[in-house]
Amino acid sequence: MTGELQKKAAEMLLKGATLLGEPCPYCKGVRVMEKGQALCISCGREPEKKEIQNPSRETTPLEKVFEKKLEVLSKELEQEKDHKKQQNILKTINSLLETIEKTKGKQ
């Protein structure tokens, strides 16, 4: 089986795949990555796909205000032709996003 895996890995590399720096989480073997899929040359296993659960919580009134402001700024940015005004809108959006992250960290 290892010979088959090595042959497949060689074919993947010829098609543009890359060797991964991280070893296989199961056997510590060398892995090849192609199109987001990692193949271990030694055991042939791929890491299990785990869904990350995002704990559901209610959006606070302040977060709703921030979201509405982001929508307005996004529309303004889309329509603005002046580069200096675009930069100012982008700075405001960035500042707003930083504020949102800070408020989420405190909850």
Asked, for residue 51, whether it belongs to a domain, the answer is: no
**pLDDT by residue (tens digit) across 2-33?**
678 888 888 888 888 888 888 888 888 888 88
Q: Classify residue 85: in a domain, yes or no.
A: yes
Read off the tokens for 54.
Answer: 């995002």
Q: Supply the range of the domain harboring residue 99.
A: 61-105
- Tell whether 65 and 34 lie within a shared domain: no
Place of tokens 């929508």: 71
How many CB atoms are closer than 10 A to CB 98? 10
65 with 96, same domain: the answer is yes
Name the CA dihedral angle for 30, 35, 37, 39, rounded to a multiple of 10 degrees: -30
Number of domains in the chain: 2
List pLDDT tens digits, range 58-84.
778 888 888 899 999 999 988 999 999
DSSP 21: S
Q: pTM (2 decimals)?
A: 0.45
DSSP state of 33: E
